[in-house]
């Protein structure tokens, strides 16, 4: 299989970036996108060209590192997939692809396809936890949580912090990420005591990081690799209003 690849190259946050064109031959349709980049990089290194910097670790869709934009789409052609679960069989032989990093003011480009998503960590640090010290905890079955409620919490907790929701949003809003964590914790009895404070602090941090506002286009849930619903944003707004 053969693909023409236009890849965003940018030496550092301070440098200006541009697309570079590469031809990749002898590809296998079952390769994942990172495997294709590995393959391309091996060739570049041998030619004395600096390899394309991209992040990818688990390669099974759970670590949340690998996200990039392909042909202007954050959405994987395989739908609700991370970049590492996107295979070349989704593209046509000979197709021309444009690969670029996630674009958002709060996600500065570090190099080539790598962005800085540490803003997410700071949102969690602001209140995305239950303040139970380690080594303690009541007998687990003393807190009963209905099956449906546990499932709903898990739906929200499944977020992998890849940033696809931010990258696809026209406002670069981090609402889906923030709401998923907030709703996961606030909807459980263990998280209830801190629910209001959590809502205020997480939203405050989200705004401080420079993410935009949510205008409910629903674009985020379409691209989310974990299929997290915008319903959680409704819940977040409710928590926040209540806490004001």
Partner 1 sequence: MLEAKIPEGRLEEKWRNYKAKCRLINPSNRRKYKVIVVGTGLAGSSVAASLCELGFQVEVFTFHDSARRAHSVAAQGGVNAAKDYVNDGDSVWRMFYDTIKGGDFRAREANVYRLAECSASLIDQAVAQGVPFAREYSGYLSNRSFGGVQVSRTFYARGQTGQQLLLGAYQALMRQSTRKSMQLHTRHEVLDLIVHEGKARGVVVRNLDTGELSSHFGQAVVLATGGYGKIYYLSTLAMNCNASAIWRAHKRGAYMAAPSWTQFHPTSLPQLGSYQSKLTLMSESLRNDGRIWVPKTPGDQRAPGDIPDAERDYYLERRYPSFGNLAPRDISSRAAKERIDAGCGVGPMRNAVYLDFRDAIQRLGLDAIRQRYGNLFDMYRKITGSDAYKEPMMIAPAAHFSMGGLWVDYELMSNVEGLFVLGEANFSDHGANRLGANSLLQACVDGYFIAPHTVMHYLAGERIDGPQEEQLQEVGERLLQQCSADLKEMLDRKGNKTPEEFHKELGAVLYGKCGLSRNRKDLLEAKEELRKLKDEFDLNLLVSGASKNINFELEKAGRVRDYLEMAPLIIQDALQREESCGAHFREEHQSEEGEAQRNDEEFQYVSVWEYKGSNEFELHREHLDFEFVKVSERSYK
Interaction between residue 161 and partner 1 (CB under 8 A): yes
Residue 9 engages partner 1 in binding (rule: CB under 8 A): no
Rounded distance between C-alpha atoms, residue 206 and residue 175, angstroms: 8
According to CB under 8 A, which one of 6, 20, 38, 98 is a site residue for partner 1?
Answer: 38
The smaller minimum CB distance to partner 1, of residues 150 and 243, is found at 150
What residues numbered 180-209 form the site for partner 1, per CB under 8 A? 184-185, 188, 190-191
Nearest approach in angstroms of CB 145 to partner 1 is 6
Q: What b/e readout covers 147-171, taking b as 16+ CB neighbours within 10 angstroms?
A: eeeeebbebbbebbbbbbbbbbbee
3-class SS letters over 112-136: CCEECCHHHHHHHHHHCCCCCCCCC
Beta carbons of 35 and 93 less than 8 angstroms apart: no
Q: Is 93 a binder of partner 1 (CB under 8 A)?
A: no
Q: Quick one: which of 18, 42, 73, 96 contacts partner 1 (CB under 8 A)?
A: 42
25 binds partner 1 (CB under 8 A): no
Least distance from partner 1 to the Cβ atom of residue 29, Å: 10
Q: Which of 133, 170, 241, 244 binds partner 1 (CB under 8 A)?
A: 133
CA geometry: angle 210, 214, 216, nearest 5 deg = 160
Q: Please choose, out of 96-104, 148-156, 172-180, 233-241, the segment that lies near partner 1 by the rule CB under 8 A.
A: 148-156
Q: In whole angstroms, how close is the CB of 233 to partner 1 at the nearest point?
A: 19
Burial letters for 47-64: b for 16+ Cβ neighbours within 10 Å, e otherwise? eeeeebbbbbeebebbbb
In the region spanning residues 54 to 83, those forming contacts with partner 1, defined by CB under 8 A, are: 55-65, 78, 81
Contact call for residue 16 and partner 1 (CB under 8 A)? no
Q: Does 17 bind partner 1 (CB under 8 A)?
A: no
| Region of 151 on the Ramachandran plot (φ > 0 left; ψ -120 to 50 alpha; else beta) | alpha
Any bridge partners for residue 3, and if so which? 24
Contact at 8 Å (CB) between 207 and 62? no
Which of 169, 181 has the CB closer to partner 1?
A: 181
Q: Which is nearer to partner 1, 149 or 213 (CB)?
A: 149
Q: Which two tokens stand for residue 55?
A: 């992040």
Phi, psi of 29 (to 5 degrees): -60, -20
> What one-character DSSP code corresponds to residue 236?
H
CB of 170 to partner 1, least distance (A): 25
Window contacting partner 1 (CB under 8 A); options: 128-136, 167-175, 213-221, 234-242: 128-136
**Interacting span for partner 1 (CB under 8 A) from 43-51, 166-174, 206-214, 231-239:** 43-51
Chain centre to alpha carbon of residue 110: 16
């Amino acid at each position: 299989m053969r693909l023409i690849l236009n890849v965003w190259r940018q030496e550092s946050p301070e440098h200006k970036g541009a697309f570079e064109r590469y031809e990749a031959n002898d590809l296998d349709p079952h390769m994942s996108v990172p495997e294709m980049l590995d393959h391309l990089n091996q060739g570049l290194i041998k030619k004395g060209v600096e390899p394309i910097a991209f992040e990818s670790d688990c390669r099974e869709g759970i670590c949340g590192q690998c996200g990039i934009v392909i042909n202007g789409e954050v959405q994987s052609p395989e739908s609700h997939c991370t970049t590492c679960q996107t295979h070349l069989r989704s593209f046509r032989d000979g197709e021309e692809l444009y690969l670029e990093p996630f674009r958002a003011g709060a996600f500065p480009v570090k190099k080539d396809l790598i962005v800085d998503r540490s803003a997410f960590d700071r949102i969690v640090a602001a209140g995305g936890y239950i303040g139970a010290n380690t080594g303690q905890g009541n007998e687990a079955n003393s807190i009963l949580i209905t099956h449906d409620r546990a499932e709903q919490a898990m739906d929200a907790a499944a977020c992998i912090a890849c940033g696809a929701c931010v990258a696809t949003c026209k406002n670069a809003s981090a609402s889906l990420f923030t709401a998923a964590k907030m709703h996961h914790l606030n909807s459980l009895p263990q998280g209830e005591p801190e629910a209001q404070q959590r809502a205020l602090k997480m939203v405050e941090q989200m705004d401080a990081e420079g993410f935009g506002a949510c205008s409910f286009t629903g674009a985020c849930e379409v691209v989310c690799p974990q299929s997290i619903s915008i319903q959680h944003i409704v819940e977040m707004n409710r928590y926040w209003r209540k806490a004001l």
